[in-house]
A and B are shown apart, each in its own frame.
Chain A
C-alpha cells in the first residue's frame, strides 16, 4: 500500500510539473495558438484528487501523535506550504540572477510570478503555524528565530513586490527588481538553517528523515499535491505577468531597443502591426 501510493503520487506530481513546464513554454506566452485548457484541467484534477487523498490520510488514516494528540495534524498542510514557499523564492533568486546575465521578459515575468506565489504560500504557512502555536505553545506568536527569520523574509518580499508596483519603466523595473531579488534571496538559506543554528522553540525542519514512518506517506502525498498547486499558480501568474509586460512594451514610445539585446516582443492580439 505504502509503496504503491508513494510511487503513484510522485509519478502524478512529477508528470504534472513536467506538463506545467511544457505548458509554460507552449501555452503561457500570450497570443500562443496552443490550447492548454485540457492539460490545465487535468493538472487541476490531479491536484484536487491528491489533495483529497492527502487530507483523508492526514485527518483519518494516520495515528494521533504521542504528545500533541490530534493537534499535530496541521503539519500535513503547514510543512508543504513552507516547502513550496521556499521553493518558489529560490526559483525567484535563480530567475533574478539569470535575468542579470541575459535579460528577457520571460525571466522577468517568471521572477514576478515566483515571488508573489512564494509570498502567498509563505503567508499561508505562517498563519497555519500560528494557529497550531496557540494550543501547543500557548501563544500565537513567539519571537523564536525560525518565526522571526520567516517573518522578516516575507516582509522583504513584500518590499520586492512593492518595488515592482512603484517603477513604471518596464526595463528599469526588471533590472532593479532582479537586484533586489538577489539581495533578498540571501535570507532563504538563513530561514532554512535557523532551526539548526539557534535551537529554541520551533522543532527542527520536518523532512521525511525526521518524521515518523507512519506519517511520512501522508506528508508526501500532501506535498506532491502542493507542488502541483504551486506549478498551476506559477503558470497562471506567469501568463498574466507576461501579458502585462507585452501590453506595456508594445506601446510605441516604450519599445525596448533591439540593439541592446532585449527580446523582441510580438504585439498583443488585436493590435495593428504598424504600431510596432
Chain B
C-alpha cells in the first residue's frame, strides 16, 4: 500500500462536488425543471387557499418549505440516477478514497441546489403572498441553509437506498417525509418569524432545533453511508 496514495477526505469531497456541479451546470435541465416545479407549487398553494392575501401571508413560511420539500424529492431522486446510468457508482467506489466522501459531496451538492432554489423562490413568495422580510436577509439565509441541510443529509442516504430499490419514486418520499417533519416544522416556524418579526425571541430556539437535527443526521449519514453503497 505504500506506493498507493489515498486521497484525503476534504480533497475527495471537493473533487466530487466539483464534478457534480459541473454536470449540473452543463445540462442545467434538472435545475430548470426544479425551478418551474417549485414555482408551480407556490402558485398552486395560492389557488388552493383562494385569493385571501392575509391567510397566504400567515402561512407563507410553511408553503415555501413545502415547495422546497417537494422539489427536493425530485432533486434527491435525480442525484444518484446520474451515478447509475454508466455504473459510475462502481467507479467511485473503486477510487482510492473514503466512501464517506461520496456522502459528503452529494449531501453538500443537494444542499447547494436547494439553497439556490430557495433564494430564487423567496422573491416570488414575497410577490405572490404579499409578505415582507421584517427581520432582514441574514436570519432568512441562516434558516434556508440550516433547513436545506436538514433535508439533504437524510435525503442523500435514502435516495442512495431508494435509487436501487423497486418502486423508488414511492419509496423516497415514504421514507423521507416522516423523518424530516421536525426539521420542516422548525424551518417553517423560523421563516414565519423572519417574515413577521420575532417579539418573543423564539428564533434562536428554532435554530437550535435545526442545528441539533443537522448534527444528528449528518453524523448518522456520515457514519452509515459506506454500508449503504457497499456491494
Contact = CB atoms under 8 A, between A and B. Distances in A.
Interface of A: 100, 152-153, 155-156, 158-160, 162-163, 166-168, 172, 175-176, 178-180, 182-184, 186
Contacts of A100: 224, 227
Contact of B166 (A152, A155, A158, A167): A167
4 nearest CB pairs, A to B? A155-B178, A159-B175, A156-B178, A166-B165
Contact of B179 (A156, A178, A179): A156
B171 A186 contact: no
Contacts of B224: 100, 179, 182-183
A158 B171 CA distance: 11
Contact of B216 (A153, A156, A179, A186): A186
A175 B160 CA distance: 13
Contacts of A168: 166
Contacts of B171: 159, 162-163, 166
B179 A184 contact: yes
Contacts, number: 61
A163 B178 contact: no
B165 A183 contact: no
Interface residues of B, number: 23
Judged by DSSP, the binding face of B is helix
B161 to A, nearest CB: 5
Contacts of B181: 152
A184 B158 CA distance: 12
A160 B158 CA distance: 11
Contacts of A178: 227
B228 A175 contact: yes
Given A163-B171, A168-B166, A179 B157 contact: yes
Judged by DSSP, the binding face of A is helix
Contacts of B158: 180
A166 B167 contact: yes
Given A166-B167, A167-B166, A179 B175 contact: no
30 contacts: A152-B181, A153-B178, A155-B177, A155-B178, A156-B179, A158-B174, A159-B175, A159-B178, A159-B179, A160-B175, A162-B174, A162-B175, A163-B171, A163-B175, A166-B165, A166-B167, A166-B170, A168-B166, A176-B165, A176-B228, A178-B227, A179-B157, A179-B161, A179-B228, A180-B161, A180-B175, A183-B179, A183-B224, A186-B216, A186-B220
A164 B158 CA distance: 13
B164 interface: yes
B154 A183 contact: yes
A172 B165 CA distance: 9
Contact of A166 (B166, B177, B217): B166
Interface string B194-224: 0000000000000000000000110010001
B52 interface: no
B230 interface: yes
Given A182-B220, A184-B179, 15 more contacts: A152-B178, A155-B177, A158-B174, A159-B171, A162-B170, A163-B175, A166-B165, A166-B166, A168-B166, A176-B161, A179-B157, A180-B161, A183-B154, A183-B157, A183-B217
